[in-house]
Structure 1
Amino acid sequence: MKKDITEKLNFNGNPSLVVNGTEIEVNADATTVLKVMGAVGNESEVTPKIIVQTYETIFVEKERKKIEKLKLNMEDFQTLVNEAIGMIAGEVEKPGEQ
């Protein structure tokens, strides 16, 4: 037996953040979200290594190059990463909302 669920799926692609006029795409596929949520699920244990792994998971190399060109200070960088995590985590918490 086969069941086609294509019409129930959302293929809108990845969300983006805009920083100083630069659009930065955030990976929001299920595998990425699960990896990120697993890594940062316990905030008391977030280490620099986890931050780097998360950054490299949610932003592909092309997007990381855009971020590097922005020359963000550490506080702004943390804000960017936190906003990206919040964006993809929000998609998990509120399925179906656009």
Structure 2
Amino acid sequence: MKKDITDKLNFNGNPSLIVNGVEIEVNSDATTMIKLMAMIGDESEVTPKIIVEMYEMIFSEKERKKIEKLKLNMEDFQTLVMAAIEMLTGEQEETGE
């Protein structure tokens, strides 16, 4: 028995953040989300190592190259990663484009 559920799925793509006029796509696939939530839930303190691991998980190599060109300082880098996580977990209100 086979059942096609394609019409029940959402293929809208990934959300994006805009930094200094640069659009940066955030991975929102289920596998990434599950790993991300496990990392957040397991850690009482978010260390720089964890921030880098989450960064590599939620931004593709192409998007990371865009971010590297922005030359963000550590505080801004952390803000970017946390904003992406908040967007994915629904903890942040959507702002205008």
- Where do 5+ consecutive residues of structure 1 fail to align? 92-98
Structure 1 length normalisation: TM-score?
A: 0.85
Q: Identify the residue that residue 96 of structure 1 maps to in structure 2.
A: none
Q: Identify the residue that residue 39 of structure 2 maps to in structure 1.
A: 39
Q: Does the alignment pair 1:23 with 2:19?
A: no
Q: Identify the residue that residue 54 of structure 1 maps to in structure 2.
A: 54
**Which sits farther off after the overlay, 12-21 or 40-49?**
40-49
Q: Identify the residue that residue 95 of structure 2 maps to in structure 1.
A: none
Structure 2 length normalisation: TM-score?
A: 0.85
Amino acid at match of 2:40: V
Query: What are the superposed Cα offsets for residues 33-82 of structure 1, whole Å, 9 maximum, x if unpaired?
Result: 11111111245232222111100000111111111111111221111101
Amino acid at match of 1:22: V
**Which sits farther off after the overlay, 41-50 or 66-75?**
41-50
In structure 1, distance between residues paired with 2:46 and 2:21? 30
- Runs in 1 of length 4+ with deviation above 6 angstroms? none
Q: Identify the residue that residue 75 of structure 1 maps to in structure 2.
A: 75
Q: Identify the residue that residue 94 of structure 1 maps to in structure 2.
A: none
Q: Identify the residue that residue 87 of structure 1 maps to in structure 2.
A: 87
> Could you tell me the percent identity over the aligned residues?
78
- Where do 5+ consecutive residues of structure 2 fail to align? 92-97
Higher percent of residues as helix: 1
